[in-house]
Amino acid sequence: MGTIFVKDREGIEHKLPAEEGLTIMEIIRDAGLDIEAACGGCCACATCHIYVDENRLKNLEDIKNEEESMLDQAFNVIKGSRLGCQIEFNSKIDGIKLTLAPE
């Protein structure tokens, strides 16, 4: 079991328990934070758009074409933008800091 830190849209940081094999989107959703995840994690929307702390981007797997295409349709995209449904939690990203992107 690990931990992720998520700043919600009100600026409040939440420390969430994270289990290997779950996606970041699932961890955030299961904790009851406000993340829509309309497609259920199929990379068919951008409603799980998050910002990853730039210091931790190197620990993530490279972005795939499908995710990049969905982010091209999202608003408020920045360098650290990713889709939470496409990031599987593992020990390499334990302690990662994320921010929910604006709706």
* CATH number of the domain located at residue range(s) 2-100 in this protein: 3.10.20.30
13 near 21, Cβ under 8 Å?
no
27 near 19, Cβ under 8 Å?
yes
| Higher pLDDT, residue 54 or 4 | 4
18 near 27, Cβ under 8 Å?
yes
Average pLDDT estimate for 69-98: 96
Q: How far apart are the C-alpha atoms of 23 and 11, rounded to whole Å?
A: 22
Q: How far apart are the C-alpha atoms of 20 and 46, rounded to whole Å?
A: 23
Domain boundaries, the chain: 2-100
Is the pLDDT at 103 greater than 90, yes or no?
no
Give the number of other CB atoms < 10 A from CB of residue 44.
Answer: 12
Average pLDDT estimate for 74-100: 96
